[in-house]
Amino acid sequence: MLGGGHRAWMLAIAAEELGVPFWAGTDEAQAAVKQVASARVVAAMDTLLAQVGACLFENEWVDITPLQAWVDRVTFLPSLATLGAMVDKYHQRQTMQALGLPIPAFRAVNTGAELAQAGRDLGYPLVLKARRYGYDGKGTAIVPDATAAQNAWQEMGTPPAIAEAYVPYQAELALIAARNAAGEFRFYPLAHTQQQDQVCRRIVLPSPYGDPAPAQAIATTLLNHWQFVGVCGLEFFWEANGRLSLNEVAPRVHNSGHGTIEACVTSQFAQAIRIAAGLPLGDTALRVPAAVTVNLLGWETGTAHYQAQREAIAALPGTTLHWYGKPEARPGRKLGHATVVAETVAQAQALGDRIESCWYPPNS
C-alpha cells in the first residue's frame, strides 16, 4: 500500500488475518501501520513496488507519473488510468453527466469572473469545491452570496475549482461498493452519515433513509464505466422527495465503511485485501441488527493521548474502540473511531451519544 496512515493500519490487520503478506510505503516515523507487527514498512516507493504484486492507495492524491514505470509488473488497484480519471472533481462530474447520473448542476471555475457567472447561473447558496486535494471539508465551502464565494475561493488559494448548485437534502448517505477484476460486485448496506462542520461525525448502519437499489445502480454504471477494481466509497444526497443524487466518489476504502469491521461478515478492509490477492469476494451482509460508528475527532491542538476518554469509551457495552495512534490532535482530525452494535438503530444511537459524551468536552 502506498501510505501508512490509519487506513493502511486497518488494511494491514485484515491482511494479517487473511494470511496475505502486506507491505506499506511511508516515511512517517510514527505511521499508524507500524502498529501491526507483520506489516513490512519501507520508505522508498521503488523498494516497496519491487516486493509486491498488487498495490492499493491510502488516498488518491498521488503522483501517478513515476508509477507508470511499474504497470507491467504491479497491478494497481484501481488502475492508474482509472485513478487518473477519478481524482479531478470536474472530470468526475463530466463523466457522471455523460452517463446520465443524477448530480447537481455544476460549472468549472478558473477565474473570479467564472465564479461570479456560476453564482448567477446556479443561484445561492452555492457549493464551491477545489478540483483536487479536498477532503473532510478542506477545499470545500458553502457560500451564501457572491462576496462570500469570492472570499472563500481566495482563502483556498484560488485553485481550479467547480461550483455546484446547493442540494437541499434530507440526509447524506454513503455506499461502499466492491468490484473485482472479473467485474463482479458486492455492495455493503447503505449508510447514513451525519456531518458536523463538513466532517463526518457519525455513521449509522443500516440507513433508515432511502432504498439501496438506486444507489447500487448508480455505482454499477459508474464503476463499470471506469473499469474500477477495488473498494470504493460513494456519497449521496437523499432529498425529501426521495430523489437520490450523487455527491462524490472516493477510489479507496472509505470512512463511511469503518463500521463494517464489526457490523458485516466481511469488512471493507478484508474485501480490499481479497480483491488485491485474487481471492473470491466476501459476503457483505450485516451480521448484527444495527451499528453506529462515531468518529473521534480532534477538538483541540495538542499531543494528549486521551487515555481516560479512551478507557471510558472502551468500557461501554457492545463498543469496540479503534485508536489510530496519531501523535498530534487538531480540530476536526480523525484520531480514532468507536463502533457500537445493538439490537436496534435507536439503541445504537443512544450508545453513540454516550461515546460522544465520553469523548467531547461539554458544548463541543
| 1: in domain | no
Percent of the chain residues topping a pLDDT of 90: 86
Instruction: List the CATH number of the domain containing 109.
Output: 3.30.1490.20
- Are 245 and 102 a contacting pair, CB within 8 Å? yes
Phi/psi zone of residue 304: left (φ > 0), alpha (ψ -120 to 50 degrees), beta? beta
Model confidence at 363, pLDDT cuts 50, 70, 90, reads confident
CA distances to 2, 261, 322 from 288, rounded to whole Å, are: 32, 11, 19
| 141: in domain | yes
Which residue, among 354, 347, 213, has the nearest Cα to 289 in the 3D structure? 347
Model confidence at 136, pLDDT cuts 50, 70, 90, reads low
Give 68-108 pLDDT, tens digit per residue: 999 999 999 999 999 999 989 999 999 999 999 999 999 99
The confidence score (pLDDT) of residue 21 equals 97
The confidence score (pLDDT) of residue 364 equals 64
Both 158 and 184 in one domain: the answer is no
Last residue of a domain, one of 119, 146, 165: 165
Give 9-56 pLDDT, tens digit per residue: 999 999 999 999 999 999 998 899 999 999 999 999 999 999 999 999
The confidence score (pLDDT) of residue 112 equals 96
Model pTM score? 0.95
Last residue of a domain, one of 148, 165, 182: 165
Q: Is 135's pLDDT higher than 70?
A: no
The confidence score (pLDDT) of residue 302 equals 87
The confidence score (pLDDT) of residue 215 equals 97
Residue 318, Cβ density class (10 Å: 0-12 exposed, 13-18 middle, ≥19 buried): middle
C-alpha cell at 90: 470536474
Both 211 and 64 in one domain: the answer is no
Structural domain boundaries, residue 112: 105-165
Q: Is 138's pLDDT higher than 80?
A: no
| 120: in domain | yes
C-alpha cell at 180: 473485482
Both 184 and 156 in one domain: the answer is no
Both 159 and 173 in one domain: the answer is no
Instruction: List the CATH number of the domain containing 17.
Output: 3.40.50.20
Separation of alpha carbons 127 and 195, rounded Å: 16
Give 206-242 pLDDT, tens digit per residue: 999 878 999 999 999 999 999 999 999 999 999 988 8
| 136: in domain | yes
If you average pLDDT over residues 249-278, what whole number do you get?
A: 97
Both 112 and 199 in one domain: the answer is no
Both 151 and 204 in one domain: the answer is no
Q: Is 249's pLDDT higher than 80?
A: yes
Q: Is 4's pLDDT higher than 90?
A: yes
Which residue, among 239, 116, 249, has the nearest Cα to 174 in the 3D structure? 249
**Domain total of the chain:** 3
Give 289-341 pLDDT, tens digit per residue: 999 999 999 988 988 889 999 999 999 999 999 999 988 898 888 999 999 99
Both 196 and 110 in one domain: the answer is no
Instruction: List the CATH number of the domain containing 181.
Output: 3.30.470.20
Give 152 or 361, the one with higher predicted confidence: 152
Peptide bond preceding 280: is omega within 30 degrees of 0, i.e. cis?
A: no
Model confidence at 132, pLDDT cuts 50, 70, 90, reads confident
Both 63 and 75 in one domain: the answer is yes
The confidence score (pLDDT) of residue 356 equals 96
| 96: in domain | no
Both 201 and 160 in one domain: the answer is no
Separation of alpha carbons 256 and 70, rounded Å: 31
| 100: in domain | no
pLDDT, the chain, mean: 94
Both 186 and 320 in one domain: the answer is yes
Using the 8-state DSSP alphabet, how is residue 138 labeled? B
Both 126 and 16 in one domain: the answer is no
